[in-house]
Chain A
Amino acid sequence: MNTSEQRRRNVFELLMLALLIAFLYPFVIVLINSAKDSFSVTQFPMRLPENWGQLFVNIRTIWVSPNVRYSSSFFSSVVITMSSLAAVTIFPAMAGWVLVRTKTRTSQVLFMVFVAAMVIPFQIVMFPLVSWFRTVFEITGVRLLRSYLGVVLAYLGFGLSLSVFMYHGFIKSIPYELEEAAIIDGCRRPEVFFRIVFPLLTPVHATIAILHGIWIWNDFLLPLLILGRGNRIQTLPLAVANFAGAFVKQWDLILTAILMAMVPVLVFFFFAQKKIIRGMVAGSIK
């Protein structure tokens, strides 16, 4: 490689580096302004903070804020995301398997209906869903509004289309002889699924957990409608909206709340980046 080519490459590399820094600069703005007081955050938003200790003061304020209730909101977000992910992997995998392995008209129609439901936007369902949940409570006494159960059921309902579609496609590629052999060895059908098929689905589990995980963790409208505002159970996006709505101009604290909502995701991404990106791409290409 000659030197002018080399130089051109170095310039390009530097340009990309500058672009990346500019692209990610909004995150730097969050960090430096989370360490300021209410005066300097509005007067000097681009300057470095004078005293990084202020960051911990702000974090403490957000931690105990009655609007954010950080530890409890974080806990709720984790519970909702984890339980929903368990639901949108296990149940659709089971359904996808019986739909592939039972070759009937009913299987075909059910599969098509599940997949077609992917087009249905949350908007058309959201108002009737709330009134329907209320009716269910009046009839059965099972509380779906303002409860974990309702949110997880809703995520299963909206997540199952993509999940069933992906499991169905993957299971079709698993040779049936594998399952036949197990049946000859005396395995019952459910056992065949849980012992043999389910472990083979690991790559699909990962893809689905990532695709649905990013959606559920960040989702705002669904928890807003089902959990409601200012409920005992609230997710992190609800907590941030609750806080930012209540104190429109307290930017030092709003940005601290934003920082505290982002950090768990960024830490998680840092440890699982390869898997996450592979999963996202596999999921979108389908």
Chain B
Amino acid sequence: MNRNKHDLTFWVFLAPVLFAFVMIVVVPFFIGVYYSFTDWNATARAGQGLSFIGLQNYLVSFQDPGFIYSFLITTLYTVMNVVVINVVAVVLALAVTSKLRLRNAYRMGFFIPYLIGGLILGYLWQFIFNNAIPSIGRSIGLFAALADPQNLMLGEVSTSLIALVIVGSWQYAGYIMMIYVAAIEGVPNELYEAATIDGASEWHRFRSITVPMIAQAFTVTMFLTLVNSFKQFDVNYSLTAGGPATRFMDRSIYGTELLAMNIYNTAFVGNNLAAGQARAVIFFVVLVVFSLIQVRINKRRELEL
């Protein structure tokens, strides 16, 4: 057989994947970029009656307080989420790799929330924040402040954002923990034994063997959590639905509307598909930048090794 030839098998085997790729990714991607430069709206059919308006959708987006605010709040959410998830995950990973009797049960347990979708978890936590926590305040005098409607987590923008981080981290930390666990357990036992024979203390072994292994996994977990936090939609939709309202640049806007939800709302609630599409393009560009940085770091790391 000639291995440098495109025979019939080559194209037949590629056909299903190529077809889906063109239908679902390529065509909508390019239509989407094109639409972001037009006055596309819900009633227009593909390519009919659209007029080209240049960068106007982009300019309007960058002047819209709602979008600017959403960008800022998403950045803040992403940073908090990445830090909290990774700190919690490392601590849990260290705990469940130590000599605990029930360590497998802990691993499974911490991982479980990841299996349930963010949409469902958001509703569940909405109940916890709005009902379960205030009821603790009602029955235990010491925590009476919790029962005060003024103190509801989802009542203020700042605490709502923290609530989003709590739920996002609760869902994701167990999964990231598993990656750290794999990294820690990937250290050959001989390494620890050799270090012990050489007289290294427990702390020393931890610093010189475990920490570098965790750092190795950090590139993966960092970008996994970064990209997923930046794309958060489901928990946002079900937990806060973008609320509560706040004021920004003299306009009343949603206080916890992350970018993915801002794109969705611009198109469907604000009924401006072209503007939503322009925001999606901006969203995409940011994600491409994240990925390029990741590729860079991975390359540099490979060179070092």
Contact = CB atoms under 8 A, between A and B. Distances in A.
Query: Are both chains from one complex?
Result: yes
Contact of A33 (B100, B114, B127): B127
Interface stretch (B67-75, B76-84, B151-159, B276-284): B276-284
A75 interface: no
B197 interface: no
Interface in B4-35: 4-7, 9-10, 12-14, 16-18, 20-21, 23-25, 27-29, 31-33, 35
B62 to A, nearest CB: 17
Interface stretch (B52-60, B102-110, B201-209, B242-250): B102-110
Contacts of B108: 273, 277
Contact of B139 (A9, A16, A46): A46
Given A157-B21, A218-B116, A220-B117, 10 more contacts: A23-B110, A95-B17, A102-B5, A125-B24, A127-B277, A128-B27, A157-B20, A220-B118, A258-B124, A277-B108
Given A121-B284, A214-B115, A220-B233, A190 B9 contact: yes
A160 B100 CA distance: 40
B291 A119 contact: yes
Interface hub of A97, A102, A160, A183 (most chain B Cβ within 10 A): A102
A164 B119 contact: no
Interface residues of A, number: 90
Contacts of B14: 94-95, 98-99, 110
Interface stretch (A56-64, A200-208, A236-244): A236-244
B115 A269 contact: yes
A102 B12 CA distance: 13
B31 A131 contact: yes
Given A17-B102, A129-B24, A280-B178, A29 B127 contact: yes
A255 B288 CA distance: 39
Contacts of B95: 16
Contacts of B218: none
A24 interface: yes
Interface string A144-162: 0000000001101110100
Interface in A68-100: 87, 91-92, 94-95, 97-99
